[in-house]
């Protein structure tokens, strides 16, 4: 498919400005954004940052950074989020004062909960009230705009001078990219942006303001962990939030093999371990399956590599009993916990806490551990073939099989999978085989994050593929226009069950508990009557739209040209009508707690 020279996306070319000695504060702020080496600024325009907008276009020539226009601020942040999940570096998302930031807020929460760096830039109407235009500048000014999102960002600032703006941008990048990573927000006063400068301020050297290298735990803690793991009879490694780095992937495999440890992974997170490896103990899910819980209950030592919700996972395995295994936690995540959002999850019991990201600890453990020759656990079940549906409809498993056939040899990167997916449908063999979910469970994020990830994959040897629900598609659909506009290849397969189906299951659950008619579960849930024509909506935005495909025998014929078009550089939406139904592992997500059931 593409070669690296195809990595650039289409750029709107400004006519050159007349040479001039005039310089504006926003020119110098834009120059600092360029110095941070941020390749794209994803934006929806607004008068609050018209000064900076002008500087990006006319002072910097819409190059390094290049603007990407979005139709909704939520997409600006979601695109930056998806990009960072692949490229491990932040983009800037520029959002208008008050209202733009309000639109962006769910996507900021998603990036926060996913621990992904995004530099959100914003603006305020003139802080000096005497300079405000009547009406709109007052509406679009807030006393403390960062307060809107402060509970789910790492840091924010509203600098009052050019020098302070430079510093704020440097600090924003440094904080966003320090683990646990996350979004930050910098708000520029409209008056400051539009101030004429009498001299050119010197830019600080950005290399002196980088994030620190990852912290390493003390050697005695590594030695202790190594000793427990080597002595363990049935160690289990929970592979959680880890990097997309291939070397780190291989080091995790080496660690598991040296220990003969069983491994569990999670569909909420990007691929962390080869799922077909004999040590991978049970297919991953969005919730802990019974098979995974049984593996965990059997462990005498659990090594959590920044596992998401270690407390809840241990509880799911052990119920109300105390956790019997020794627990080693490797994480810096609690630095993010502020109590507003409960995204910190349950408090896990921990016997040895290594304050570190997984990567340095895995490397040190590999150095400290002598490989043991013990019995290896029995091989884990391999990927299952799709069960024939028999009723003439397409199951998600059948769709997955057809997608596999169509993309064999193209190295697909599964950017996103829908909640109805089951971990046994697809094996992951590389960190870029799957990118995980959206962090905050905010539906509508799928399209934007898919476009952002595809942007980062452009020019690589990877075929970007997002599999999303029809509800997610409809909520976020205008994000795809940016892919068409910028020329970003992407295949989106919509698992279209014509419903917000996840919530039908919740209504069924409640109806059963209350002895009420389950037949009514669909009311208030279905996306039908009229049924949106998803392919037509895609075509209406300049994409290639294919479908709906409703019969199993039509699948291969629809998939092949879709994949071919993406390989040729197109952004394609393939609408597949799937049978409403979820994998069994999702059923644990429907239950609140055992107490609840009583």
By CB under 6 A, name the binding residues for ligand TPP. 418-420, 441-444, 469-472, 497, 499-503
Q: Which is nearer to ligand TPP, 122 or 469 (by Cβ)?
A: 469
The span from the CA of 182 to the CA of 211, in Å, is 13
Nearest distance, CB of residue 472 and Mg ion, angstroms: 8
Binding partner of residue 442 among ligand TPP, Mg ion, none, CB under 5 to 8 Å per kind? Answer: ligand TPP
Whether residue 530 has a cis bond before it, omega within 30° of 0: yes
Phi, psi of 305 (to 5 degrees): -95, 80
Residues 252-291 that bind Mg ion (CB under 5 A): none
Show Cβ contacts of residue 366 under 8 Å, excluding neighbours closer than 6 positions. 251, 254, 255, 258
Residue 377 gets which letter from DSSP? Answer: P
Q: Looking at the DSSP assignment, which residues form a beta bridge with residue 546?
A: 574
Give the residue nearest to ligand TPP (CB). Answer: 469
Binding partner of residue 83 among ligand TPP, Mg ion, none, CB under 5 to 8 Å per kind? Answer: none
Q: Which is nearer to ligand TPP, 217 or 447 (by Cβ)?
A: 447
Is position 445 an interface residue for Mg ion (rule: CB under 5 A)? Answer: no
Residues 490-519 that bind Mg ion (CB under 5 A): 497, 499, 501
Binding partner of residue 156 among Mg ion, ligand TPP, none, CB under 5 to 8 Å per kind? Answer: none
Q: Residues binding Mg ion: what is the number (CB under 5 A)?
A: 6
Q: Which is nearer to ligand TPP, 153 or 494 (by Cβ)?
A: 494
Show Cβ contacts of residue 8 under 8 Å, excluding neighbours closer than 6 positions. 458, 459
Binding partner of residue 356 among ligand TPP, Mg ion, none, CB under 5 to 8 Å per kind? Answer: none
Q: In the set 283, 377, 420, 469, which binds Mg ion (CB under 5 A)?
A: 469
Cβ neighbour number for residue 461 with a 10 Å cutoff: 13
User: Which of 98, 120, 347, 364 lies closest to 224, judged by CA?
Assistant: 364
Q: Which is nearer to ligand TPP, 285 or 469 (by Cβ)?
A: 469
Nearest distance, CB of residue 494 and ligand TPP, angstroms: 8
Q: Which is nearer to ligand TPP, 323 or 419 (by Cβ)?
A: 419
The span from the CA of 413 to the CA of 411, in Å, is 7
Q: Which is nearer to ligand TPP, 407 or 502 (by Cβ)?
A: 502
Cβ neighbour number for residue 213 with a 10 Å cutoff: 7
Binding partner of residue 418 among ligand TPP, Mg ion, none, CB under 5 to 8 Å per kind? Answer: ligand TPP
Nearest distance, CB of residue 571 and ligand TPP, angstroms: 19
Nearest distance, CB of residue 493 and Mg ion, angstroms: 13
Residue 256 near residue 372, CB atoms below 8 Å: no
Is position 470 an interface residue for Mg ion (rule: CB under 5 A)? Answer: yes
Q: How far is the first Cα of the chain from the last one, in angstroms, to the nearest whole number?
A: 56
Nearest distance, CB of residue 381 and ligand TPP, angstroms: 24
Is position 471 an interface residue for Mg ion (rule: CB under 5 A)? Answer: yes
Binding partner of residue 472 among ligand TPP, Mg ion, none, CB under 5 to 8 Å per kind? Answer: ligand TPP
User: Which of 444, 392, 399, 394 lies closest to 421, judged by CA?
Assistant: 399
Nearest distance, CB of residue 46 and ligand TPP, angstroms: 23
Binding partner of residue 330 among ligand TPP, Mg ion, none, CB under 5 to 8 Å per kind? Answer: none
Residue 17 gets which letter from DSSP? Answer: P
The span from the CA of 526 to the CA of 405, in Å, is 31
Q: HSE of 475 in the Cβ direction (CA atoms, 13 Å)?
A: 18
The span from the CA of 397 to the CA of 382, in Å, is 15
User: Which of 463, 446, 477 lies closest to 409, judged by CA?
Assistant: 463
Record the tokens describing residue 461, joined without a space.
């040897």
Residue 366 near residue 213, CB atoms below 8 Å: no
Q: Which is nearer to ligand TPP, 468 or 543 (by Cβ)?
A: 468
Nearest distance, CB of residue 279 and Mg ion, angstroms: 35
Phi, psi of 223 (to 5 degrees): -60, -40
Q: Which is nearer to Mg ion, 499 or 541 (by Cβ)?
A: 499
Q: Which is nearer to ligand TPP, 141 or 499 (by Cβ)?
A: 499
| Binding-site ranges for Mg ion (CB under 5 A) | 469-471, 497, 499, 501
């Amino acid at each position: 498919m593409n070669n690296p020279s195809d990595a650039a996306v289409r750029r709107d070319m400004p006519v050159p400005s007349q040479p001039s000695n005039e310089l504006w504060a926003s020119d110098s702020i834009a120059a600092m954004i360029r110095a941070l080496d941020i390749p794209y600024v994803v934006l929806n325009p607004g008068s609050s940052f018209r000064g900076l907008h002008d500087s990006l276009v006319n002072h910097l020539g819409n190059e390094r950074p290049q603007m990407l226009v979005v139709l909704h601020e939520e997409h600006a942040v979601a695109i930056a989020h998806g990009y960072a999940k692949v490229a491990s570096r932040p983009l800037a998302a520029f959002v208008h004062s008050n209202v733009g930031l309000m639109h962006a807020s769910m996507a900021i929460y998603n990036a926060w909960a996913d621990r992904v760096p995004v530099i959100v830039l914003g603006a305020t109407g003139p802080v000096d009230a005497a300079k405000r235009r009547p009406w709109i500048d007052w509406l679009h000014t807030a006393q403390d705009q960062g307060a809107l999102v402060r509970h789910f960002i790492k840091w924010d600032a509203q600098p009052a001078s050019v020098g302070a703006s430079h510093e704020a941008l440097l600090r924003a990048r440094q904080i966003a990219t320090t683990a646990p990573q996350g979004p930050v927000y910098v708000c520029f006063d409209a008056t400051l942006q539009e101030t004429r400068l009498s001299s050119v301020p010197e830019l600080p050297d950005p290399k002196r303001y980088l994030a620190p290298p990852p912290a390493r735990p003390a050697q005695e803690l590594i030695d202790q962990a190594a000793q427990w793991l080597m002595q363990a009879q049935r160690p289990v490694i929970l592979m959680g939030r880890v990097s997309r780095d291939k070397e780190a992937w291989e080091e995790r495999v080496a660690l598991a093999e040296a220990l003969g440890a069983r491994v569990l992974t999670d569909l909420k997170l990007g691929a962390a371990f080869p799922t077909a490896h004999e040590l991978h103990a049970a297919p991953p899910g969005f919730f802990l399956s019974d098979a995974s819980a049984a593996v965990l209950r059997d462990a005498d030592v659990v090594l959590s590599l920044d596992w998401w919700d270690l407390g809840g996972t241990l509880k799911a395995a052990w119920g109300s009993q105390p956790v019997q295994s020794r627990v080693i936690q490797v994480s810096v995540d609690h630095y993010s916990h502020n109590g507003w959002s409960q995204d910190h999850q349950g408090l896990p019991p921990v016997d040895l806490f290594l304050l570190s990201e997984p990567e340095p600890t895995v490397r040190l453990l590999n150095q400290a551990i002598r490989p043991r020759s013990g019995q290896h656990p029995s091989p884990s079940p391999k990927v299952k073939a799709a069960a024939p549906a028999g009723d003439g409809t397409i199951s998600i498993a059948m769709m997955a099989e057809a997608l596999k056939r169509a993309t064999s040899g193209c190295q697909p990167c599964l950017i996103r999978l829908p909640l109805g997916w089951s971990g046994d449908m697809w094996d992951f063999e590389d960190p870029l085989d799957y990118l995980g979910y959206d962090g905050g469970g905010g539906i509508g994020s799928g399209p934007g994050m898919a476009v952002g990830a595809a942007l980062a994959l452009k020019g690589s040897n990877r075929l970007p593929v997002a599999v999303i629900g029809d509800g997610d598609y409809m909520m976020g659909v205008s994000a795809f226009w940016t892919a068409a506009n910028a020329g970003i290849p992407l295949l989106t397969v919509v698992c279209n069950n014509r419903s917000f189906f996840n919530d039908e299951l919740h209504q069924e659950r409640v109806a059963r508990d209350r002895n009420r008619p389950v037949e009514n579960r669909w009311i208030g849930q279905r996306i039908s009557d009229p049924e949106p024509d998803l392919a037509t909506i895609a075509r209406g935005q300049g994409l290639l739209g294919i479908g709906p495909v409703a019969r199993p025998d039509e699948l291969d014929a629809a998939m092949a040209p879709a994949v071919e078009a993406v390989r040729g550089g197109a952004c394609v939406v393939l609408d597949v009508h799937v049978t409403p139904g979820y994998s069994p592992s999702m059923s644990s997500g429907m239950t609140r707690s055992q107490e609840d059931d009583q």
